[in-house]
A and B are shown apart, each in its own frame.
Chain A
Amino acid sequence: MHTPTYAPAYLAAELRLPTNGLDYAILGIYFAVVLGIGFAARRSVKTSLDFFLSGRSLPAWITGLAFISANLAATEILGMAANSAQYGAYTVHWYWIGAIPAMVFLGLVMMPFYYGSKVRSVPEFLLLRFDKGAHLLSSILFAFAAILIAGVNLYALAIVVQALLGWPQWVAIVVAGFFVLAYITLGGLSSAIYNEVLQFFVILAALIPIVVLSLKKVGGWDGLTHKLTATHGHDFTTAWGGTGIGHANPLGANWLTIVLGLGFVLSFGYWTTNFAEVQRALSAKNLSAAQRTPLIAAFPKIFIVFLVMIPGLAAAALVPKIGTSGSGLQYNDAIPYLMQELLPNGVLGIAVTGLLAAFMAGMAANVSSFNTVFTTDIWAKYVVKDREDSYYVRFGRLITAIGVLASVGTAFLASSFSNIMSYLQTLFSFFNVPMFVVFIVGMFWKRASMKSGFWGLLAGTTAAMVNYFVLYKKDIIHLPSDQGANFVSAIAGFVAGAVVMVAVSLFTKPKPERELQGLVYGTRSPGLSEPPAPGDAAWYRRPALLGWGAVVLAALCYIPFSF
């Protein structure tokens, strides 16, 4: 997961929003449309490929917007606004260096292997490239992590809904769980993806008025930076101020750990190997559309940072004591606080709808990737093999229901043991790092042996955890903050995974070369021989142009924040 791990904190009780019938009507319409999409998508599900991967037939603009939406969960929106209220403009790093390069790399370099090899999931790629050890380990860990994150999302939703609307927590958990269960069981991935695209636009409609009005309230961008410089110092509104090695800054990280830890290891791990993201690209209709999925997503990602950072900064300027005991507000309250202060009924209903939609999409992305991995990677490969295809569609629907019930259970558990949950969340976040090592070594080094995948995964995960939970938490090495420790642990996991992979490869047999066709850089994948679709040659659909355009644009965005 990409968002800094905030334990879902209790929102201040005085944040109750003055919602009225109009706002609830807007919310009700949305829920009705969500269910309608589920029912309407149902008739498109004929094979298991339709249910789990939309038949590999969706256009790039839909998969691209779903790709960004699956990441734009409410925990991300509230968490990044909180991050901005606490650390200031450093938040841009999570977007411009911590997302764009990895998304472009996924589209330009990795997608031909992912999509071209026709795998249905990220673990399935590991099965083809390495062996069953790596496959089973990654499938099981992913399945657990997906349910856990879905549950944490549901719990965070319950807290926010309780604070803002006054619903009891269990009502919010059951209602949201029911809607997600209904539309994914009915329409499978198509229904999840269609709802994510719809949600993307509702979120924009929710956040833009908040940004405009909060800027107006603090006197525009100049007024905002002026106020913050006076209360928080000059570095608060810059991206790199105070990040020299040896300097102290609130983030607890220097430019090197930001670039390597966040920008390289954590970000590439999340964006290129997290199946909840990659699944959206694998459902695209051809290789060109699959490549363009993360690239189309990169452009909104560059600008979304303003929609979450400006409310966070504005909250810090309006409530200088936010996050301390001197005010009743937590960092997480930044956006709810501005909604309460600034939005009249009507737009308020849109904002509440956007927030709830974002929670449900965050949960749905995890549920729809969980059911795919559990069915195609665990059940159909190790438990009940070689049954007719319709059996696996039925099983997929059943496991979706079980997955949602399990995450509802997780949410209830989280409400009693929220510390354990944030601990588990951190624990699983370290799993993406060695996944990335194994992918990158496996894709670029033919000699990486069959066994090296499993051991690389295990060693990298262990190293990252030991560094975080033993060396940092027990204060054996001193790191200034949780965020800083996160970055360093990621780098440790990456290095350990890579070293173990190389060592194991030197002593075990490589995979025969003919089995590596389409899986390793320098070989051709069978999918590459498919003819391009008409119109894909248009200049604005060329992956290289889109990809490099996004990288250049993100770099340019840094300029005004660098001085």
Chain B
Amino acid sequence: MSESENTAHRSGHDVQREVEELESKSATAARIFDLRRIIGGLFVLYGIIVTITGITDSQAAIDKAQGVNINLWTGIGMLVLGVFFLVWLKLRPIVPPQETESD
């Protein structure tokens, strides 16, 4: 068997061993924050801002949007999405796996 084949063969198992080793030390699962909190928070905030804009919108703004109070409807939609993520987070929290070692 030629040398290059040997190298290729080694590297195949090397990759798997290396990745398994790194996986066992990985900290993402234990330490990453829950994205649902961020999406929920941002959309609730955006929802409140845009809904208030809709409530206080001038007739000119409504006329521009083809007679639809688009700020109001978009704001409510974003609010609902934000609340959905926060409720989901509340009902199904993630239990992070214990970190195997500290650093």
Contacts and interface: CB of A to CB of B under 8 A. Distances in A.
Interface in A14-31: 22, 25-26, 29-30
Contacts of B86: none
A482 interface: no
A532 interface: no
A346 B35 contact: no
A350 B49 CA distance: 11
A285 interface: yes
Interface in B1-43: 4-5, 8-9, 11-12, 15-16, 19-20, 22-23, 25-33, 35, 38-39, 42-43
A526 B16 contact: yes
A515 B23 contact: no
Interface string A191-226: 000100110010001001100110011000000000
Given A198-B42, A213-B70, A40 B33 contact: yes
A148 to B, nearest CB: 28
B64 A57 contact: no
B27 A197 contact: no
A26 B74 contact: no
A281 B89 CA distance: 23
Contacts of B57: 344, 346
Q: Tell me what chain A mostly uses at the interface: helix, strand, loop, or mixed.
A: helix
Nearest to A518: B16
Interface residues of B, number: 49
B87 interface: no
Contact of B50 (A44, A54, A217, A350): A350
Contacts of A48: 22
Contacts of A501: none
A46 B15 contact: no
Given A128-B15, A347-B50, A50 B26 contact: yes
Main secondary structure of the interface of B (DSSP, over half): helix
A57 B32 CA distance: 10
Given A209-B74, A345-B53, A515 B8 contact: yes
A55 B29 contact: yes
B81 to A, nearest CB: 7
Given A47-B27, A198-B42, A347-B50, A118 B66 contact: no
A292 interface: no
A212 B65 CA distance: 10
B15 A118 contact: yes
B71 A347 contact: yes
A119 interface: yes
Contact of A450 (B8, B15, B65, B68): B8
A208 to B, nearest CB: 8
A131 B8 contact: yes
A37 interface: yes
Nearest to B53: A346
Contacts of A342: 64-66, 70
A46 B31 CA distance: 10
Given A26-B46, A55-B28, 19 more contacts: A22-B53, A33-B38, A33-B42, A36-B38, A44-B33, A46-B28, A56-B23, A119-B15, A205-B74, A205-B77, A205-B81, A342-B64, A345-B61, A346-B57, A346-B74, A350-B46, A511-B8, A515-B8, A515-B9
Interface of B: 4-5, 8-9, 11-12, 15-16, 19-20, 22-23, 25-33, 35, 38-39, 42-43, 45-46, 49-50, 53-54, 57, 61-62, 64-68, 70-71, 73-75, 77-78, 81, 103
29 contacts: A26-B46, A29-B42, A41-B33, A44-B27, A44-B28, A44-B30, A46-B25, A46-B28, A56-B26, A57-B28, A57-B29, A119-B19, A128-B15, A190-B28, A194-B35, A197-B35, A205-B78, A208-B74, A213-B68, A213-B70, A342-B65, A342-B70, A343-B64, A346-B53, A346-B71, A347-B65, A347-B74, A350-B74, A381-B11
Interface of A: 22, 25-26, 29-30, 33, 36-37, 40-41, 43-50, 54-58, 62, 117-120, 124, 127-128, 131-132, 190, 194, 197-198, 201, 205, 208-209, 212-213, 216-217, 285, 341-347, 350, 381, 389, 450, 511-512, 515, 526
